[in-house]
Each structure stands twice: as structure tokens, then as C-alpha cells.
Amino acid sequence: MGSLGALRRGSDLTILLVYGVLALLLLFVLVVVDVFLQFTDVPGALLIVVVLAFLFMLLQWAIAPTIVRWATRGRTEVTPQTNPWLYRTVAELAHQANVPMPRHVWVSTSPDPNAFVFGRTVGSSELVVTQPLLEQLNQDEVRAVLAHEIGHLRHRDVVIMTWVSAVPLLAYVLARLGFEALRVGGRGRDRNAGAAILAAIAVAILSYLVYLITQLLVLYLSRTRESYADAYSGAATKDPHLLASALTKITYGLSLARPDAEPSGLRAFYIGDPVKARDDYEDLRTRMQQYDLNRDGQIDQY
């Protein structure tokens, strides 16, 4: 994936592109309103559009943790009494990373081996590991996965991804509003109705294109931040092979699961991608000889 410097530059550029595309979309909306609807107070409209966009993203940031918590299946909070090793390991890794201990640590009854962190801020973050992950990985591998998740906190990914992910959602909402306005406005027969229809078509089409583009950029950013957290895990545990071994087991476990076993909205948070797991595992099997140096049927650490 490249050096840490390249990862950071790639992340920064992607964030700039996402918000740059959003700015162009909002500007386009104002131009369309001015051209088709003869709206004269462009500065006032610009301020209104920017404020509404910011309030929308602020709402997304405020409610996202509640939605994620609600979507996490059968969670049980980890305490020093219920799972001393897991709680102590998270606390040690957080101290090592110089970040606050996650406010809540959960074990989920999800059928898939996975882990993720979420929250409004680093200080209010929550960490989730699934029961299959604890059962299928050894303690060193679990520690590497936890270090990966703590790496997300150190890099403030919980905040960055929440704000950036709001952009394609905002574009999608604008597209839906445009198509809805087109449906309702199509009933009119006067000249103003015709202008409104043209404006709605322009806004809806461009907003949907922006949604597709920014969604791809956000997915790329998510993978980049995952690689950044991978690098942190290797540095924190002083053995990158532990995370590699853990990810191999996670991929195998996910490849056996039903594609619809998990809520699709949580996909961006996971350390392992449930949708791509089957393809990733098949790719690993076809290239097994590249990783099994001594031909014993196991992936070697090298």
C-alpha cells in the first residue's frame, strides 16, 4: 500500500476531493436556481445552502453512534470482572497510544469474526469485538486486532470517517429531493413549472453523480485508513505477522458466513469486509504457494 507518508498524503487528498466535489455541487445548485428560477439573492442563498449542509452533517455526526450501537447485535459490556484480560489489553494499548480508554468495550454475539470502533470523538469512542473473533483467534492475534482498532483512535478516524461519510449521504438526499420535485412539479403546465422541472432534473442528475463519486472516494479513504491502522498495529505489537495471521483467519471466517448476516450499514466500520471476504479467501487459496514457503499447508511468517 506504500509508505506511511504516502498513506497520509493519499488520505488528505481524498478528503479534499470529497469536500471539493461537495462545494462544486452546492455551487451548481445555486447556479441552477439563479438561471432557471431567476433567483436574485445569490449571496443569501449561498449562506443558507452552506448552513443547511453543515447542519445536515452535524446531525449525521450526532446520531451516527446511536445508530451503530442499535445495529450491533447482542452486545455485552466488558468490565474488569467479566473479561479481565480483554479489558486490561484494551487499556494497555490505549495508554501506549496516548489516547483515552474507549468509554465502552463490547462483545457482540454477531456470527462473524470482526471488530470495530465508533464514536463522536476519540474521548467518547466505543470498541466492539465479536465472540467468534475471540474464539477463532489466539490472544496474540486478538491483541494485534485490538491494536489496529486503537490505531483508528490514534489517527482520529472515528471523527474523520463520520464527517466524510456524511457527504455522499447529503448528495443522495439532494438527488432524491430533486427527483421528488420533478415528480410533483411535472403536474404543472405554466412556464414557471417548466423552469422548476428543468432545475429539478439538473440538480437530481448531478447530485446522484456526486453521490456515486464521493461514495467511491469514501470507500477508498476507508481502505487507506485501514492500511494506516494496520501499520500502527505492527508497530505497537512489534510483530506485523500477528495481524496478518489474524486477518487471514478473519477472512476465512467471513467467507463462510451468509452475505446478509450483518447489517450493511456497519460494513465501513469492520476490520474485515464481509462482502469481499469470499473473493479474498479464494484469491488467497489460488496463491497459497506464494505464502506457504515450506509446503506444510500453512501461511508462513516471513
pLDDT band, very low/low/confident/very high, at 282 (cuts 50, 70, 90): low
Query: What's the pLDDT at 8?
Result: 79
Please check the confidence at residue 268 and state whether its pLDDT lies above 70. no
Which domains are seen in the chain, by residue range?
4-70+158-225 (no CATH), 75-157+232-291 (3.30.2010.10)
* Residue whose cell numbers read 455551487: 27
Count CA atoms within 13 Å of residue 124 on its CB side: 10
Please say if 149 is a catalytic residue: yes
CA distance 71 to 266: 8
Largest CA distance in the chain: 78
Compute the average pLDDT of residues 41-65.
79
For a pLDDT cut of 90, what percent of the chain falls above it?
A: 39
Name the more confident of 254 and 284.
254
Q: What is the pLDDT of residue 198?
A: 79
Using the predicted structure, report yes or no on whether residue 26 has a pLDDT greater than 70.
Answer: yes
- Looking at residue 297, its pLDDT comes to 47
The three cell numbers of residue 230 are: 494496520
Task: Convert the pLDDT of each residue in 164-220 to its tens digit.
Answer: 988 998 899 888 888 887 776 555 555 556 677 777 888 889 999 999 999 999 989
* Cα torsion through 45, 212, 12, 57, rounded to 10: 40
Mean pLDDT check: name the lowest of 12-16, 22-26, 38-42, 53-57: 38-42
The residue ranking higher by pLDDT, 81 or 256, is 81
Please pick, among 126, 149, 226, 262, the residue that the annotation labels catalytic: 149
